[in-house]
Amino acid sequence: MDASGGLHLAWMWRDSADAGTNHDLAYARSTDGGKTWTRSDGSPYQLPITAASAEYAARIPAGSNLMNPPSIAADGQGRPCMATYWSPAPGAPPRFHLVRREAGGWSVTAGPARSATFALSGAGTKRPPISRAARSLVVSPGALRLAAQPHTPAAPAAAGLDRAARGSDVLAAMQRVADWQLAHMPDPAQRHPRGWETAPFYIALLALDRIASDRRYQEAMVRLGDANLWQPHRLPYHADDQCVIQAYLDTYRIRRDPKMLAPAKQRLDYVLAHPSSVAMDWDPPACQERWTWCDALFMAPTSWLEMWDATGDRAYLDFMNREWWATTERLFNPATGLFFRDESFLDLREPNGRPVHWSRGNGWVFAGLARVLQLFPGDHPDYPRYRNLYLAMAKAVLAAQQSDGLWRPGLLDAAAHPERETSGSAFYAFGLAWGVNHALLDRNRVAPAVRRAWNALTHCVTPDGKLEHVQPIGAGPHGFDPGTTEPFAVGAFLLAGSEVYRLTGGV
């Protein structure tokens, strides 16, 4: 987006899953928020834009090690500039290039030459020795300068963030939000009732049930489970489709009704008997038979631990433990104490040059890690590894909290992501409060951060109980309508409330 609000779009074409088929840089612009699109000379596009109708800023043949995606920015006059790298000749080392629109048309400026070469080809995750372009350079009179990153100022911190929470107020806020969600369950055609989008709400209903004075939330979960026939979702290996098992087994622990256990056990037993042999490289959808994206560390591991707890069969525990560390080895960044969403993010950078660490993605992990620690046997040789990972993440999470008590969609560049965001923030509040309640974190140091987070979260709830400021479904930080809500975010809010309630002593 340029300073006048115009949108600039750059892309390359690709003929197959093989990155070696990347070719040609194309361009389009819009001055009406994306309703209509034109070429750089103002001539209109007929949608959809095709390879035949696209405007080409640079013709680059396949087999040139062209990196996707290009980065794009614009100067004060709205003139676009792209940046990416490719090999200028067959067999030559890839080098960065600037492609910019000038009065006479498009021009290409090559960056510094490199002596080391490599080939960008094949499907799946790539680990090239040089990073994608994180932002474009644009030409100003007489000099190259970094493109301005447009953003709006963060909302001022809400009043009363340091106010001590009372247990009765926490419970009342939880009930108001839960009741709103129960009255506004999403259309099954949009959010499947067995899907991951709704499962955290089911899980959190039982957390609310444990502190509520009556059993109406437990009864609501039983009704929802009966409607689902206590079945997991569709794909047998996919972590997302195992998430709802956690709610089923939580209910089974209370009711001891075999129908709540049997379908989930059948699903996990199938996976044990037919383990996936796909590689951990990020190459969806096949790779999603394993836990190759960080969200999976909330979705599946606790389901496996709950099954171990319900049956006593150590095979479930061993499977969970093995897969957890396979994922962590790939996606955890020790330098930041945070997880990459998946391997496609390994070499991406925020405008400030720091790694892209998505808030809700890390929120899934941090909340999942707290839930794993609650069930994982303390005498297991790997228990200290989970504990140390939790402590490393807690340190990073605390450092990323903003002055208004919340966290931003991109954890390490709040200026580029000014939006208040509640789903990741609620998961962090839950994980931090859980750590204080279980004596893993220092109460004097961490409880004030939890208090600020909870008070900020309650400021994002409308009077009738709708939780807002939820980033929609995605895989990385981006802007969104502040009025958005989702059942999984309501689940995160209720989980946070359940631990904040305990932090207050329940009074």
CB-side neighbour CA atoms (13 Å) of 275: 11
CB 58 within 8 A of CB 109: no
pLDDT digit string, tens, across residues 439-473: 999 999 999 999 999 999 999 999 999 999 999 99
* pLDDT for position 149: 33
Burial class, 299, CB count within 10 angstroms (exposed 0-12 / middle 13-18 / buried 19+) = buried
Q: Provide mean pLDDT across the span 88-111.
A: 91
* pLDDT for position 120: 86
Percent of the chain past pLDDT 90, that is, above it, reads 84
Query: Is the predicted pLDDT of residue 74 greater than 70, yes or no?
Result: yes
Please give the model's pTM, rounded to 2 decimal places.
Answer: 0.76
Q: Which of 71-80, 354-363, 450-459 has the lowest mean pLDDT?
A: 71-80
3-state helix, strand and coil shares in percent for the chain, rounded to the nearest 5: 40, 15, 50
Identify the band that residue 140 occupies on the pLDDT scale cut at 50, 70 and 90: very low
Active site amino acids:
295
In order of their start, the domains of the chain are: 7-146 (no CATH), 167-503 (1.50.10.10)
pLDDT averaged over every residue in the chain = 92
- Report the b/e string of 179-218 with b at 16+ CB within 10 A: ebbbeeebeeeebbbbbbbbbbbbbbbbbbbebbeeebbb
pLDDT digit string, tens, across residues 155-210: 444 668 999 999 999 999 999 999 999 999 999 999 999 999 999 999 999 999 99
pLDDT digit string, tens, across residues 226-274: 999 999 999 999 999 999 999 999 999 999 999 999 999 999 999 999 9
* pLDDT for position 116: 85
* pLDDT for position 136: 45
* pLDDT for position 417: 95
CB 450 within 8 A of CB 436: yes
Identify the band that residue 82 occupies on the pLDDT scale cut at 50, 70 and 90: very high
Separation between Cα atoms, residue 397 and residue 503, nearest integer Å: 19
* pLDDT for position 159: 67
pLDDT digit string, tens, across residues 83-97: 999 999 998 999 999
Query: Is the predicted pLDDT of residue 285 greater than 80, yes or no?
Result: yes
